[in-house]
Structure 1
């Protein structure tokens, strides 16, 4: 088991102009934001170039934009903050940002068209190489929840197979490694990868490809609607995803990064955001092999910007004019307490069996979704005082696998007292 203390960070949403700030880049404004973030005791940020602004033509990666990214990373280093960079944006807060050379008259599949993939690889390699000599550069994430482009409910998906998704992941992660060898390069999906039967980005890919596994936890996916704001399943959703990922991991102690988690209103009302934040992060910290927690997000979206889903305007740890919020105070308190008296979780010895069909494609993974047999059994076990993890059905009787993970008891969803009939909701939109 890893003895490394978990990292604590935040997804950086600029207070001035949101991610459109790249158009009017103001390093002084960025420094102000980063001072506020560092003031919470956090140690890293995840940042988001807008792909169409950085690579407006397939063979043009703008040097000025890359320089802005480097200057942001250097400003973060001055404040003791490490930086992870998401390359392909891709998708952010309900808006898609795809370059014109992939759309309309130039419409090409962003996952398997050879020219598009070659352009993406060069872009990611360029960003990684620009930061390769910066000690505070953690590595690249390929993009933000790019799996949402590959299937419904996206209104215009770029359809691919699971094999094509896997080839795309390897190709682009190789490009990141070429640009910055030895860094933590990974990919990240929204929870359809774990919950949606026909999603071509799969749990096995998430848990086996890249330097570590990333999970994104959002309780507006049917969890809070079904279980309420203080329900065990709601407050444990992030921990559940961390432990669910381990069913597919080949390494018994593969690190898992809770890369996005937030308190979405109105399901989590503003007056309860701090309590939800505390409960969620505390639960995640009781998961062995947790690499870190990165809250979504640093600053609220300004009300001067139009057409965001309502919940997006209030997810920050700070208001967009830099005032601290109760959720930020709660996160800061947890960080301080963890560093003062670290919680070191013991192995989770009870494993819930996951039978989602073929382990590579998981055609029945909706059993893991809110309302599904595995999801509800995990919540019931937790409510009864257990600290469950998960194991694939095919490995549930493998003594060596169980021993390597510290598992001494295996239970099925039926044995945990839940219904075996899944009424899992269709995967929600990715924001």
Structure 2
């Protein structure tokens, strides 16, 4: 390859899947698990032409005591994975739930009279390791098992706005993540084990879970793209920043990665009403996925979520009820039809977007701790400059300020021009 040209990127078709929310009982279905109901749900997911599901065991149900991991619950998880395999669906499993749709699911042995920091207490951490290893090992011989995610947005327990946070610093967060990922790999060596944070890791100054951890630990970087974080409020449902929010997070992830080809998994993205009105859900889905797949090294897109939350269940935030691609009686909604069309159009096609040759330089006060990362969030100077560049028809990558003059790094990513925020905004 001539000097100055990037090496050819490995390419394959992108994956399309869904976060599995059971149609009957939501995640409380683990309390009265019915394989017939699960099979009906998976039939409706497979009919969309998707290829994988992300599954959520509830941690207190599976490990109700620190030294008890319920064998029957583990057997039910394996049965779900086998039912998915019968329908051509691969399975990724989240471990420490943790937090789901505004509800916390922590075992009794971590709270109140037994209150212990879930990231630092040695007994709790050892029990978490055993739990993750047990789930991974139970699935290790299943060919459709992709791997474990440590937990769903478990970083929300580490600081504000959580009402009772388990405080840690960035070094402690990194050590905890490394131990949990090692526990997953002990149970199922070599699988696609990752960790997942909500966007405080990318946007909140001082948050102990950092962009560097997200982009450097685990088999891939996961991003969760939710436009109710201020993006849709500022830019509207059809605004450039809103329809490119997932792509923006993917490009932030690429900036921190040490491996220029590190895969990025768009692990959660959805169309939250009323910020994205129901009549605009299909358009939002099509635009979001198209823009995300205009980024290099995207492993796949996993939509949130499969089925609506039943209105019989109380106390969810209003936007959580109608995020499904399918209704509770398995009817396909417009967003579901849109994702099915997209998945069909990509079947067998390699994902090989052209390089993003123009990059916007990002200064967060140091890549490791990122003390100034709030510039990356909606309303922040960097976020708004990237969105403005995109609205002008450009396809900006993101490069850390520390690497903006590194020829080898820029070449590996196909970057030939580096702009700064003031080049976009005209301000000093």
TM-score (normalizing by structure 2): 0.97
Of 242, 245, 254, the residue aligned with 2:253 is 245
- Among 330, 338, 342, the alignment partner of 1:330 is 338
* Match status 1:319 vs 2:327: yes
Q: Which residue of 2 aligns with 1:349?
A: 357
1:409 and 2:412 are equivalent in the alignment: no
Q: Determine the structure 2 residue equivalent to 1:283.
A: 291
Is 1:223 equivalent to 2:231 in the alignment? yes
CA spacing shift, 1:252–1:198, aligned 2, 3 Å: same
Matched position secondary structure for 1:414: helix
Q: Aligned residue pairs: how many?
A: 420
1:184 aligns with 2:199: no
Is residue 66 of structure 2 the alignment partner of residue 58 of structure 1? yes
* Distance in 1 (alpha carbons) for counterparts of 2:182 and 2:189: 9
Q: TM-score, normalised by structure 1?
A: 0.96
158-167 vs 331-340, which moves further:
331-340
Instruction: Measure, in 1, the Cα distance between the counterparts of 2:211 and 2:270.
Output: 22
Structure 1: which 5+ runs fail to align? Answer: 421-431
1:16-31 pair list within 5 angstroms: 16-31=24-39
Instruction: Return the alpha-carbon distance in structure 2 between the equivalents of residues 68 and 11 of structure 1.
Output: 18
Q: 1:210 aligns with which of 189, 195, 218?
A: 218
Q: Is the 8 A contact 1:373 1:418 kept in 2?
A: no
Q: Is contact 1:223–1:234 with CA below 8 Å preserved after alignment?
A: yes
Instruction: Provide the aligned C-alpha RMSD in A.
Output: 1.0
Bigger shift: residues 339-348 or 172-181: 339-348
Determine whether 1:367 maps to 2:375.
yes
How many angstroms does 1:419 deviate by? 6.0
Distance 1:373 1:291 in 2: 29
TM-aligned CA distance change 1:405 to 1:33, over 3 Å: same
Report the counterpart of residue 261 of structure 1 in structure 2. 269
How many Å separate the matches in 2 of 1:419 and 1:42? 46
- Could you tell me which residue of structure 2 aligns to residue 118 of structure 1? 126
Q: Is the 8 A contact 1:139 1:183 kept in 2?
A: yes
Q: Which residue of 2 aligns with 1:427?
A: none
Aligned pair in 2 of structure 1 residues 418, 247: CA closer, same or farther (>3 Å)? farther
The unaligned stretches of length 5 or more in structure 2 are: 1-8
Shift of 1:344: 2.6
Alignment of 1:65-214 (within 5 A): 65-214=73-222
Residue 391 (structure 2) aligned to one of 358, 377, 383: 383
Tell me how far 1:166 sits from its aligned partner: 0.2
Q: Who is 1:425 aligned against?
A: none
Q: How do 1:300-311 and structure 2 match up within 5 A?
A: 300-311=308-319
Distance 2:352 2:412 in 1: 18
Question: Can you list the C-alpha shifts for 1:80-126, whole angstroms capped at 9, x where unaligned?
Answer: 00000000000000000000000000000000110000000000000
The answer on whether the counterparts of 2:132 and 2:150 sit within 8 Å (CA) in structure 1 is yes
Secondary structure of 2:17's match? Answer: strand
